Structure 1
Amino acid sequence: MKSFEPLTDSVFYIMASLTEPRHGYAVMSFVEETTEGAFVIGPASLYSIIKKLLKEQLIVLHDESNTRRKVYKLTEIGRQTLAVDIARRKVMIRMAETGLERGDT
């Protein structure tokens, strides 16, 4: 199996948003709504990351019918990459929760 680099938070949120086909503005809105405003991705960051994800073939253009709103979705390798990162983050959370539960007070 391919070794995967850890995703930055911005890349993680964008890829998680693209488990369903979405256009750029919908990705930004979805992330902001889902995180209740705790995480906001601006348009410049979003489109820079989308360009990188396209180049790495982690996402593809899903619908080209509307040239103003390009719709993207994860590829199979993108899904695998996201799944690996989710597992990595779960280990981090378990470790921190265990430490907090055992921590000295």
Structure 2
Amino acid sequence: MTPATAPPLTPAAFQVLLALAGGAGHGYGVMAFVEQTSGGTVRLGPGTLYRTLARLVADGLATETEGADPDAPHDARRRYYELTALGREAVRREAELLAAFVEAARTAGLLGERRCA
């Protein structure tokens, strides 16, 4: 599968890949990223998260890695994941697609102008 032939990502897959775009991460870190980024409006439950990770690994968009945070307490059960090149391209393409939809919403008057704080 290539990014050009892959269907659009599910919201959960996009959120997980986006969380991993900053570097390798573990499940709890991915869940925290999604919750923080959404202002608490989106929460990935463990079942959704780990099914999504398994699918992303099976599809070649993410991989389980040996990398770990040396400052974190050791937990042999903690698994770390990272994007593959294919995953990085897929999440980039999905972000561009979503940006186009956001722009269409703005043009339709559904979103106000973005104001700087």
Unaligned runs of 5+ in 1: none
Which amino acid counterpart does residue 17 of structure 1 have in structure 2?
Answer: A
Query: Within 2, Cα distance between the matches of 1:46 and 1:36?
Result: 18
How much does 1:16 deviate?
0.3
Cα deviation, 1:47-69, whole Å, max 9, x if unaligned, reads 00000000001001122676410
Query: Within 1, Cα distance between the matches of 2:54 and 2:76?
Result: 16
Counterparts of 1:68-79 in structure 2, within 5 Å, are: 68-79=77-88
Q: 1:89 pairs with 54, 79, 98, which one?
A: 98
SS at match of 1:15: helix
Identity %: 30
Cross-structure match for 2:66: 63
Count of residues paired in the alignment: 101
Unaligned runs of 5+ in 2: 69-74, 111-117
Cα deviation, 1:2-61, whole Å, max 9, x if unaligned, reads 323111211111110011111011111111112110110000000000000000010011
Which amino acid counterpart does residue 75 of structure 1 have in structure 2?
Answer: T
Structural RMSD (CA): 1.7
The TM-score, its normalising length taken from structure 2, stands at 0.79
Q: 2:14 pairs with 12, 27, 30, which one?
A: 12
Contact persistence 1:23–1:71 (CA under 8 A) = yes
* Alignment pair present for 1:42 and 2:45: yes
SS at match of 1:73: strand
